[in-house]
Each structure stands twice: as structure tokens, then as C-alpha cells.
Chains A and B, each alone.
Chain A
Amino acid sequence: MTMRTLPRRLALAVIVAIIVAVVSVKLNAFRDYQIAEIAMYVTAVAALTVLTGFSGQISLGHGAFMAVGAYATALVMLHLNWPFYAALVVAAAVTAAAGAVVGLAAARLRGPYLAGATLMFGVAITAVAPAFPGVFGGDQGLNVTFTTPGFVGANFPLTRWQAWVSSVVALVVLVLLANLQYSRIGRNWRAVRDDDVAAELDGINVAAARIRAFVVSATCAGIAGALLAIVTGLVAPGAFTLTLSIALLTAAVIGGLGSLPGALWGSLLIVLVPVYVTDVATSHGLSSSVGANIPIVAYGVVLILVMLVFPQGIQGGLRWVFTTFFGTDLKSRTWREAPAPHVTPSADEEAASQHQKEGTS
């Protein structure tokens, strides 16, 4: 069963939407909030999957794109009094432009140099907001009011509405990204990711493909930022730290780089693991310095263990489980797993892969 065709994707999206709707009714407000959080992260992590997994460009600063989207949403809703869906469009447009600028600047950068540039970009952009407190609300940030619309009735909980809206937005984004993944644009991205020199020789405009990936990725991250604005109700610099950018990359790789379902696994990990471990820690009544730090240690250990045990991420691990225990490769692999973006391999790997390419002799 593959997601190669649009009807199949839409059907899956609708099914998931229905499941989320039903589940959100059954769960309490906090869980609904978590669903909204997960949906937001899925959108952001999927954005990074497009950039890093599909087109092979690493970004350590995606939190900055989320910030741009979030602030755009907040400003539009506050000052223009526009409804959320209009603000969403504005946020998407603004971050798309930002993505184009960054993509252009980054078009020639590879591997760790790209990582360094995006890292500094992330750090610098998030320092802009506190520098102009008049516009951006300084360290306290901007408050965003988001209310349930009239037609759902007065008793409809806000958290459930937030969960619904976020989930729908996330699903729409995922379907659109899946369309791109299987389109010619997606194929070009993979060609560029795997071997940009060969892609250029094949006639693909490598720079355009890379910039396109940045634009798409930034737009999705901006949409995630818009979701953050309405889900948390507050857009402040403290929400967009380096930790966020790193968490997004971590989620993308752990989930399974190059696969959109991986965005879901990664998001579940970063939302649920710290909460779970904190619960365990507090229920044992540990002192605050220990108790607050155990989730941090546990999270780090989980990252290391997952990477060591499942080098292809959780999605890769699931695929391995299916093929090992069910004997069939459920997804027909018409596209390869992302082998991870341009970092010059060690001489060993280079020699080995060179020989593999040349054929044994």
C-alpha cells in the first residue's frame, strides 16, 4: 500500500482527521492541547524533512522561520483584526519570502557550512524581536486571542477547537508535501540531494531546486509558527530558542529522515517523552534540581539510543519490523531513503562507494 496517488493520500488524511476528531472529544483539555502541540510540531518537522530529507540541505535555524510566521500571525490578528485563516495566509507568504532570501544566500553552501550559517541565522533572527520592543512586544511578546467560532456552539472547548484547527492545517500541509514528494519537483530534489554534480549534468537547475526547497520548507515552518501563535496564545522570543531549532532537526532525523511519517514519530517523541519522564520524576518526589534535570538526561539518552539502534530512524525501524516479521516490503520503494545531506564522507566511505560505483573488478 503506497501513498503514491492523491486519492489515497486524501483518503488517509480524512481518516486521520476523523480519528483525531473522535479522540479529541474523548480526551481531556490537556490531551487536546497536546494534540494541537503535536500537530504544530508535525508541520514544522515535516518542513525540515522537506529541506533536509528530500533536498539534502541541513538547517539548524528553522525555529527562526517559525518565529517569523508566529509574529506575522500575531501582528496581523492584533493590528488588523483579521481572522486566523487570513493571518495564516499572510504568515505563509512572509515566511516564503524569508525562505527565498535564505535559500538564495545558502545555495552554494554544503554540509557543516550550511549548518553553521543556518545556526547563526536562527540565533540572530530571534534576537531581532527583543531589539524592537515597540513592534514585537519585547520579552513579554504579543498575546494572541483565538476563540471558537460561533457555529460550534457555546460549550465547545477552546482546546478541542485548537486541536481540530491545528490537525486540519497539519494534514493539509502533509498532503501537499506528499504531492510534492512524488512529483517531478520531488524527484529533482532527490537527485540534487544524492549527487548534485550529476543532477546538474542531467540538466536539473540545482540552485533553483535548492532554493525552491528552502521556500517550501520555510513556508511550512511559518505555518507551524502560526499554529504556535494560536495554540499557545503567546508569541514571545523565549519560545524560539536554539533549543527549538535543534529539537526540530532531532525530531526529523529520529523519526526517519526523508519520510513524512517520520515527522509524526519525531514530533510524538519530542512532545511526549519529556512530559512522560517529568511525570515519572515528579511522582517519585525528586528534588527540584534532580527532578527537573532527569527528563533532560532521559531525552538525551533516548536520542542516542534511537540513533544507535535505528540508524534509519523510527520509520526505518518500523519498515525493518514489517519486512522481518511480515516478509513483505509494504511500501514499494520507488524512491530511496535519504542518505543524509552533503557531508564529505570519510576516505574509507569514499573509496568504498567509488568502487561500488565503478563496479567490482
Chain B
Amino acid sequence: MPVVEFLQFTLSGITFGMVYAAIALSLVLIWRGTRLVNFAQGAMAMFTTYVAIEVIYRTHSYWAGFVVALAAGLVLGAACELTVVRPTLNKPPLNAVIVTIGLLTVLEGLAGIFFGGQYRSFPPAFSITGLRVGGTPLGVSRSDVFVAAAVLAATLLLAVLFRYTSAGLRMRAAAFNATIARLSGIRVARVLTVGWGLAGLLGALAGVLVSPSTFLYPNSMDTIFVYGFTAAVLGGLDSPGGAVVGGLVLGLALSYAGGYVGGSVGADLTSLVALGILVVVLMFRPDGLFAGSRMRRV
């Protein structure tokens, strides 16, 4: 039935879209704080997911692995900022890009060394049997619902953190005007580290949520990163809300394209569809859908 099919594609699109949104959100966090794109975000997520699977293997507890992955993401993000990104902050911006690309390469290589290159399966949080409503398959499972809910919860928590806490105000002030922030006593350097840590946590979340579908191998997060970055660009790199919207739009569009066109041609078309959406959006809004007006002082 066409309605059921549409529903299935929609729900599946939302599920993946939320994963892209999580990556997009982490990129937005880093962009607002340090004005650079972290190309290693996907690789960091891959690495923390490997850590999770080792924990799960040893403790036989999914949730232990889940929590450890998030914690590892926090630590890894902060560590990367402190060691490798900090020195690039007053240099030409492309240097930081290359450094994150180097980081990406190092992480993928290290994953290959420590964990091996073969594809590994990653357990989902809940059952993956399709849910049904009155006998009709919905096309999503409990696990998929958890994916969407987890990212949504993380987004809301972040929003609360930023808007209502002192720590959040510190981060916003530092992002909007680092000079004023410093003159007011905000330790901007520390704030940046925390920002990267939070981004790492978000990426780690995306990693554990999507790996059951993609399998886990050193390059498994590459495509997810590309779509996450695209989602962030779609929404506007300064806009957390835009990241979520961008992720959902992209997830839905790719799901419909893959579903309706179908077959191997459909699969190859997905990146073309993404390109098409991106081109159309950027044609009208060169700074993304939710670009604030940043006026240039001439």
C-alpha cells in the first residue's frame, strides 16, 4: 500500500536523519566555538564506538558500552582540542582543516592497528524487529525509535544547557565575542575545550546509534560524516536548530530517493539527490537555511 510505503520511508528517513543531525550538531558546536570544521568528527565517533564494543564484549552490557562511548567522546574531543587544534587557532584557517584531516587519518589508522580492519557488527540498543500497528509493518523497530529519541533528548539537553545555565552562557558569550568574554573574566580557552568535548560526546552518540546499521570498520563513519556535514551546511553552520532540520531534511530526501527509485540505480542516486538539495538551498541561501545575518562592517 502506498501510504504504508510512504510511512516506512518517512520513519526510516527520520531515523537516519537524526544521526546526521547529531553529527551536524557536533560540527555546529565546534564551528560556533572555534570557527573551524572538524573533519575528524566522524573518525572520532568511529573510534569511540570501537571502544564501546570492546567494553560490551568484556562486560556483556550494552549500556556500559554506551556510557563509556559517550565518556570517551568527551575525553577524546577535549584532548584533540588541547593538543592539536589549539596551536592552529591564530593561523590561517585552512591549517586547522588540514590538522583535523591529519587527525582523521591518524584515528582511522590507529583503529586499524588496535582493532583490526574487518567489519564488526555492533549491537543495537533494543530489538530490531519491525514494529507493527494492527498487523501493518511500520518499517521501524524499537531500536530506530531509540535512535531518534536519543538524539532528540541530547539536542534538548544541549539547548537547556546553553540557554539556562551559567556554563552555557559562558560558551555563548565566548562564541559571540571572545574578546569581551575574556575581558569579563571568562576563560575562553577552557570553554573551547569543553565545547570540543561536548561535540565529541555528540559524535560518539551518533556512532553507537548508527553502527548497528552500517557495521563497524575504520572507514564506517566516512559517509555519515559527509552527510552530517552536508546537513550542517544546509541548516547553516551557526544554527543548532538548522543542524537538526538539515539532518531530517537530508535523511528524508535520501530515504525517499533510495526507496522510490530503488535498486542499484537508486543507491547510486542518493549522493546526487543530496547534491541537488544542497545546490538548490545554497542557491537561495548561500549561508544555509537558518543563516543569521552577520553583517560585514565595511
Contacts and interface: CB of A to CB of B under 8 A. Distances in A.
Q: In the complex they form, do A and B come into direct contact, defined as C-beta atoms under 8 angstroms apart? A: yes
Interface residues of B, number: 64
Contacts of A110: 286-287
B205 interface: no
A307 B95 contact: yes
B179 A296 contact: no
13 contacts: A110-B286, A112-B31, A115-B37, A116-B232, A116-B278, A253-B98, A293-B112, A301-B102, A307-B98, A308-B99, A311-B91, A341-B93, A347-B180
Q: Is the interface of B mostly helix, strand, loop or mixed?
A: helix
A311 B92 contact: yes
Interface string A331-355: 0000000111101111111010010
Interface of B: 31, 34-37, 39, 84, 87-95, 97-99, 101-110, 112-113, 116-117, 176-180, 222, 226, 229-230, 232-233, 237, 264-265, 268-269, 271-272, 274-275, 278-279, 282-283, 286-288, 294, 296-298
A130 interface: yes
Interface string A240-261: 0010001001100110010000
Contacts of A299: 102, 105, 109
Contacts of B101: 246, 249-250, 300, 303
A330 interface: no
B175 to A, nearest CB: 9
A55 interface: no
Interface string A57-77: 010000000000000000000
B274 A304 contact: no
B246 to A, nearest CB: 10
Nearest to A288: B117
Given A52-B94, A289-B113, A347-B179, A120 B274 contact: yes
A311 B106 contact: no
Contacts of A115: 37, 233
For chain A, give the interface size range.
35 or more
Name the 6 nearest CB pairs between A and B, nearest first: A300-B105, A303-B102, A116-B233, A296-B109, A297-B109, A300-B106
Interface stretch (A16-24, A121-129, A208-216): A121-129
B92 A340 contact: yes
Given A58-B94, A119-B229, A289-B113, A304 B84 contact: yes
A302 B105 CA distance: 10
B93 A343 contact: yes
Contacts of A289: 112-113, 116-117
B272 A307 contact: no
B108 A296 contact: yes
A294 B237 CA distance: 34
A300 B102 contact: yes
Contacts of B95: 253, 307, 311, 340
Contacts of A123: 226, 271, 274-275
Interface string A289-320: 11011111111111110011001100000000
A345 B35 contact: yes
B211 to A, nearest CB: 20
A131 interface: yes
A292 B287 contact: no
Given A116-B229, A117-B282, 4 more contacts: A113-B287, A120-B271, A303-B98, A311-B91
A108 interface: yes
A247 B170 CA distance: 37
A270 B131 CA distance: 50
Contact of A112 (B226, B237, B269): B237
